[in-house]
């Protein structure tokens, strides 16, 4: 059997119930997921910062309009 092969466990009816993944392959999958998660988090934080700056800019414009009315 190939040492990189994924193995499936089945019940008495032949339905897959579990999977065995070689550790080297699992580590590659986990590393990919970790990189994806970090990228997703970074992009989310970037959009949040843009949103925060936009909100701060709106607030400063509102304050300026208020001061102009005085």
Inside any domain, residue 41:
yes
CB burial of 39-67 (b: ≥16 within 10 Å; e: otherwise) equals: eeeeeeeeeeeeeeeeeeeeeeeeeeeee
Inside any domain, residue 2:
no
Inside any domain, residue 17:
no
Inside any domain, residue 14:
no
Please state the pTM of the whole predicted model: 0.51
How much is the pLDDT for 52? Answer: 84
Inside any domain, residue 6:
no
How much is the pLDDT for 70? Answer: 72
Structural domain total, the chain: 1
- Give the residue numbers spanning the domain of 63: 23-69
Phi/psi region, residue 14 (left: phi>0; alpha: psi -120 to 50; beta: rest), is left
Inside any domain, residue 28:
yes
4 and 23 Cβ atoms separated by less than 8 Å: no
pLDDT tens, residue by residue, 13-69: 999 999 999 999 999 999 999 999 999 999 999 899 888 878 777 666 667 777 777
Long-range contacts of residues 2-5, Cβ cutoff 8 Å, at least 24 apart? none
How much is the pLDDT for 24? Answer: 94
How much is the pLDDT for 53? Answer: 79
């Amino acid at each position: 059997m190939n040492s990189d092969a994924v193995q499936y466990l089945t019940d008495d009816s032949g339905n897959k119930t579990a999977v065995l993944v070689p550790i080297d392959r699992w580590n590659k999958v986990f590393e990919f997921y970790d990189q994806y998660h970090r990228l997703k988090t970074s992009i989310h934080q970037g959009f949040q910062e843009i949103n925060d700056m936009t909100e701060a800019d709106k607030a400063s414009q509102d304050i300026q309009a208020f001061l102009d009315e005085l």
